[in-house]
Amino acid sequence: MTSHAFSIRPAVDEDRAQWESLWQGYLEFYRSSLTATVTDTLWRRILDPANEIQGRVAVAGSGELVGLVHFLPHAHTWYANPVCYLNDLYVNPKIRGGGIGRALIEAVIEHAKQQGWAEVYWHTQHHNAVARVLYDKITGGTDGFVNYCVDMSRYPQGDGP
Q: Which domains does the chain have, with CATH numbers?
A: 6-154 (3.40.630.30)
Q: For the chain, how long is the longest CA-to-CA vector?
A: 54
CA nearest 19: which of 52, 44, 51? 44
CA dihedral 152, 153, 158, 161 (to 10 degrees): -50
One-letter amino acid at 137 equals: K
How confident is the model at residue 159, as a pLDDT?
60
CA nearest 11: which of 107, 134, 96, 92? 107
Q: How confident is the model at residue 158 (pLDDT cuts 50, 70, 90)?
A: low
CA nearest 134: which of 156, 108, 105, 161? 105
CB 119 within 8 A of CB 83: yes
How confident is the model at residue 59, as a pLDDT?
98
For the cut 80, the answer to whether the pLDDT of residue 89 exceeds it is: yes
CB atoms under 10 Å from CB of 19, counted, come to: 21
One-letter amino acid at 97 equals: G
pLDDT average, residue stretch 108-115: 97
Beta bridge partners of 65: 59
- 3-34 pLDDT per residue, tens: 469 999 999 999 999 999 999 999 999 999 99
52 vs 159: which has the higher pLDDT: 52
